[in-house]
Structure 1
């Protein structure tokens, strides 16, 4: 027992130094920055509409799990319009928000055409990616409604349009070519627009 005490007394400085080093290592591990890439994600389930600060949070993902077009933490996205439903925790990308990213994967020459259809309940049936025809019914015209756009894809259905009431209709953003966009603009100025939905 006395021999052990003598050994401990001789090694006291070494033991103290080892304990101090261990304490420093523990502190460094506690304050070390978390691993991964910080990107913006939905802070709650989003059905669409305009982003607020409360809708967005920062998450860290492994570098190989960061999707293309993700927004780095700190990016200014408040006020941007979400193209469709987003789940809580899902990273926000340029393809999810109205803007050039929505057309990035489309054919060259395509444009995003905002169109207001008469029936908001019909618009609620649609999601981004759906393919539709747009029909125009002109007032006082006894003929059948005319198709003014064929097989166009829905890019977004901004949810805030639903709150404007049935008389205002509902807004859709469609991927069209410039000629179709011009036809749609002329039709919605003169007629009530409706849609038919292509099967997936």
Structure 2
């Protein structure tokens, strides 16, 4: 029995010696792999952020195809990300890859940074007139009574908060057309909706002027 064990040990020793270089290489490779694994940094934590999948113009009603989720560093995420942007309308253009934040959407967030202002939608009777405006402009609003043709100042230093939609197609707003023709001007323009920032005390006056007359502006 002892002889057999001795013979077996001798064979094992010969096998180890015959392959000692290969064994040494394998042991070294295992040690290097273990060391690299131990020193390799852990993958950084990421968070999901919704961004624009393409360039989007102002007034776009966001759909699922307009948005895409990306993984990003949690520390780089804006604090005011919109929770459910699908179905919301853009108050400002959005570039591809830009996150969708509350201030980019039509809503109460438009007055963020302007605590003394209230967002009020009004319609200008001429879409081309509205096309001269830019978000951030300050203008004086005037209203013209279609019955008397008298024009009066409504507000001064009125902030343009958003130009949320393009002009509607002709024939979609018979009320606006009728009022315009009654004023003595034949027009097929349905105008354009804009959102302005005014003081709380001016909301009723601005709203009444927009409903009962034709609004225009001056820089």
- Over 3 Å counting, the alpha-carbon distance change for 1:35 and 1:4 in structure 2 is farther
Matched, 1:44 2:49: no
Q: CA deviation at 1:168?
A: 2.0
Distance 1:61 1:150 in 2: 44
Matched, 1:162 2:167: yes
1:58 to 69, 75, 89: 69
TM, length-normalised to structure 2: 0.70
2:201 counterpart SS class: helix
Question: Are the equivalent residues in 2 in contact too, given 1:35–1:60 (CA < 8 A)?
Answer: no
* Structure with higher strand content: 1
Distance 1:195 1:33 in 2: 56
* 1:183 alignment partner in structure 2: 205
Matched, 1:151 2:157: yes
Q: CA deviation at 1:107?
A: 1.9
Q: CA deviation at 1:167?
A: 2.9
2:81 to 50, 56, 70: 70
Write the deviation string for residues 89-135 of structure 1: whole angstroms up to 9, x where unpaired.
Answer: 11111111112221221124x32101001111121222221112211
Structure 2 unaligned spans of 5+: 1-15, 171-187
* 1:85 alignment partner in structure 2: 93
Matches within 5 A, 1:96-135: 96-108=104-116, 110-135=117-142
Write the deviation string for residues 163-182 of structure 1: whole angstroms up to 9, x where unpaired.
Answer: 34453210011111223221
Question: Are the equivalent residues in 1 in contact too, given 2:137–2:160 (CA < 8 A)?
Answer: yes
Question: Are the equivalent residues in 1 in contact too, given 2:45–2:74 (CA < 8 A)?
Answer: no
Structure 1 unaligned spans of 5+: none
1:125 counterpart SS class: coil
Distance 2:191 2:125 in 1: 4
- Over 3 Å counting, the alpha-carbon distance change for 1:148 and 1:80 in structure 2 is same
Matched, 1:141 2:163: no
TM, length-normalised to structure 1: 0.76
RMSD after superposition? 3.1
Q: CA deviation at 1:9?
A: 4.3
Distance 1:60 1:125 in 2: 39
Number of aligned positions between the proteins: 184
